[in-house]
Amino acid sequence: MLSRPTRLIVAVSALSLVLTSCTASVLGAARNAGYLVVALAGQTGILDPTQSSTFDSRIVFANMCEKLYDVNANLKLVPELAAALPTISADGLTYDIPIRSGIRFNDGSALDADAVRTSLMHYKTDALSARKSELKPVTSIQALNPTTVRLHLKTPFSPLTSILADRSGMVLSPGALAREGDNFGRNPVCVGPFSFQAEPNPDEIDLTRSPFYYNSKSVTLPGITFRVVVQPAVRATDLRSGDIDVIEQAAPQDLTTLSSDPGLNTKTVPSLGYTGIYINVGNVNGSTKASGTVNNVLAKYPALRQALDLSLDRVAINKVVFDGDYTPSCTPLPTTGQWAPNLTCPTRDIAKARQLVAQTGLPTPITIDLLVPNDSLNEELGTVIQAMAKDAGFDVRVDATEFTTLLSDGASGRFQAQITGWSGRLDPDQDISQFYLPLSSLNYSGNNDTQINTLIDEGRTTVDTAARRQIYRQIAQAALAQRGIIYLYDAGLTLASKKNVTGIGYFGDALIRLQRASLGGTA
């Protein structure tokens, strides 16, 4: 009944459909049964701890690349591949790290002090290593015996153990490293409950249960599939429709729907990092060059920075833009935990702000060009800041900018003010030094405050935790007064999962630990 051309069309369409789909599935990852599906908020980038530069890669590493040290539910440092916390000499210049025995990499080779040394040296010396600055104070590394590694430092550096609880502490299989070199990320081999299986495209990573893991008895899941879903609204809908088992960074807008859903669990932890307005107070030639005088009215008149700060209502910003789910903040330090400085943030004071503006004698309104990332939420934040600052006599122009351009402008100093964030680290020094010390590549603002610089140096060379707490509190107060960065909030990082997923370890560092996770009941 169908004419010949019609039949031809139908046949060709059906054939091409079948062909393309077969190709897709043959070349694509096998969608394995029983695997837990986790939606990540961003791409992981290269899966090599040496070169890794994204937050989401750390989530994948948390399940396939164990470290010398990790943190427990209370964010206290605990040994993971190390046997105990390091023994630090009295002068703080020698670290002895005991290594556990009987541990094998996911390719079956044995972990020993030599392997640890190889990894650390790789992080220190490889041309593409992003870990170099973290390990700068370490001058030499020795494998004293198969179960002890000794680090020599040129100056005391208290953040070191925390740093070894992040990527710099991940031990790579020496065999794989020797074989792959800079392409280690295509087939990474470490120690972990799961091992790398496949990465068919930048938006999907599959891990499979490792038979070599020293605690494989505790692992229930046969594997994990990480999928990148950038839009938070889509992550939430996928979770609710059952396509995905676990999502990270659920948007504040979706929190009510997700937490009231009887089939889902949610857990929110405050970010260790922050988001704030970076003001160009001295970045003339680039962040790694010496700071100088910048043609920025906010740099010339510190009182204007104070006026801007006083025109903002952090609580209202949190309520309007983030549904009240984030935590208003005015310091680079976390708002909870042992390093929280517990400062009282300034409240909105328009009268004082106007007075400060008037005292400068400048004609109002004062124009500020504020660069913001060009996504809806950040543009909203910029708009709210614009509305609030208007009352003090500022004309804030919201300049939605594409993300890479934003980074490039920040590093080169081609901006007046920009909204930027930092994902946060365990040690307070890592939340501060890179953004305030002169010649630091992340010091977009071009900060060079003598008091802050001295305190930073003190903070990282002091060993006693209580003393350090005091020092960082002082730094927070000094930063609040200097306002090279006007801190706004600490994001609330929400994990949402189906009720039948149990055993997820989700602590204050917002990493998703799935070693003891299991997928029960109706999958």
Q: Does 409 participate in binding another protein (rule CB under 8 A)? A: yes
Six-digit token pair at 158? Answer: 């208290």
Quick one: which of 148, 253, 470, 500 contacts another protein (CB under 8 A)? 253
Q: Does 127 participate in binding another protein (rule CB under 8 A)? A: yes
Quick one: which of 83, 93, 130, 143 contacts another protein (CB under 8 A)? 130
Interacting residues of 225 by C-beta distance below 8 A, sequence separation 6+: 29, 31, 32, 35, 36, 37, 38, 204, 205, 206, 207
- Please answer whether residues 197 and 66 qualify as being in contact, where contact means their C-beta atoms are separated by less than 8 angstroms: no
Name the one range near another protein by CB under 8 A: 22-30, 64-72, 83-91, 326-334: 22-30
Nearer to another protein, 219 or 381 (CB): 381
Name the one range near another protein by CB under 8 A: 291-299, 356-364, 392-400, 458-466: 392-400
Residue found by looking up tokens 């903070």 in the block: 459
CB of 411 to another protein, least distance (A): 6
Q: Identify the CA nearest to 225 among candidates 429, 514, 520, 516.
A: 514
Query: Within 302-331, which residues bind another protein (CB under 8 A)?
Result: 316, 319-320
Q: Does 398 participate in binding another protein (rule CB under 8 A)? A: yes
Quick one: which of 107, 379, 457, 458 contacts another protein (CB under 8 A)? 379
Cis status, amide bond into 188, omega within 30 of 0: no
Q: Does 337 participate in binding another protein (rule CB under 8 A)? A: no
Q: Does 125 participate in binding another protein (rule CB under 8 A)? A: no
Distance CA 143, CA 150 (A): 6
Q: Which of helix, strand or coil describes residue 352?
A: helix
Nearer to another protein, 77 or 384 (CB): 384
Give residue 262's region: left, alpha or beta (phi > 0; psi -120 to 50): alpha
Distance CA 191, CA 100 (A): 12
CA angle at 368 for the pair 367 and 372, rounded to the nearest 5°? 145
- Long-range contacts, 402-411 (Cβ 8 Å, 24+): 402/374, 403/373, 403/374, 406/371, 406/373, 409/371, 410/278, 410/287, 410/444, 411/286, 411/287, 411/441, 411/444
- Please answer whether residues 504 and 245 qualify as being in contact, where contact means their C-beta atoms are separated by less than 8 angstroms: no
Given CA atoms 394, 305, 345, 488 in this order, what sign does their dihedral have?
positive
CB of 344 to another protein, least distance (A): 23
Distance CA 171, CA 184 (A): 13
Six-digit token pair at 78? Answer: 């605990």
Q: Does 257 participate in binding another protein (rule CB under 8 A)? A: yes
Q: Does 20 participate in binding another protein (rule CB under 8 A)? A: yes
# residues near another protein by CB under 8 A: 96
Q: Does 227 participate in binding another protein (rule CB under 8 A)? A: yes
Q: Does 28 participate in binding another protein (rule CB under 8 A)? A: yes
Q: Identify the CA nearest to 316 among candidates 302, 301, 326, 306.
A: 326
Q: Does 5 participate in binding another protein (rule CB under 8 A)? A: yes
Q: Does 260 participate in binding another protein (rule CB under 8 A)? A: no
Q: Does 43 participate in binding another protein (rule CB under 8 A)? A: yes
Q: Does 522 participate in binding another protein (rule CB under 8 A)? A: no
Quick one: which of 96, 114, 349, 380 contacts another protein (CB under 8 A)? 380
Query: Within 87-116, which residues bind another protein (CB under 8 A)?
Result: none
CB of 177 to another protein, least distance (A): 15
Query: Within 140-199, which residues bind another protein (CB under 8 A)?
Result: 182-183, 185-186, 199
CB of 203 to another protein, least distance (A): 5
Q: Does 342 participate in binding another protein (rule CB under 8 A)? A: no
Query: Within 195-224, which residues bind another protein (CB under 8 A)?
Result: 199-204
Name the one range near another protein by CB under 8 A: 70-78, 79-87, 109-117, 254-262: 254-262
Q: Identify the CA nearest to 194 among candidates 215, 177, 209, 213.
A: 209
Report residue 39: phi and psi, to 5°: -95, 125
- Please answer whether residues 54 and 46 qualify as being in contact, where contact means their C-beta atoms are separated by less than 8 angstroms: no
Q: Does 47 participate in binding another protein (rule CB under 8 A)? A: yes
Name the one range near another protein by CB under 8 A: 226-234, 356-364, 485-493, 508-516: 226-234
Name the one range near another protein by CB under 8 A: 1-9, 96-104, 326-334, 354-362: 1-9
Q: What is the DSSP letter of 186?
A: G
Residue found by looking up tokens 């650390």 in the block: 120
Name the one range near another protein by CB under 8 A: 75-83, 121-129, 276-284, 338-346: 121-129
Nearer to another protein, 241 or 522 (CB): 241
CB of 25 to another protein, least distance (A): 4
Quick one: which of 63, 118, 119, 129 contacts another protein (CB under 8 A)? 129
Q: Does 384 participate in binding another protein (rule CB under 8 A)? A: yes
Nearer to another protein, 370 or 471 (CB): 370
Q: Does 261 participate in binding another protein (rule CB under 8 A)? A: no
CB of 144 to another protein, least distance (A): 30
CB atoms within 10 A of CB 386: 17
Residue found by looking up tokens 């208007």 in the block: 390
Query: Within 488-507, which residues bind another protein (CB under 8 A)?
Result: none
Six-digit token pair at 116? Answer: 């640890």
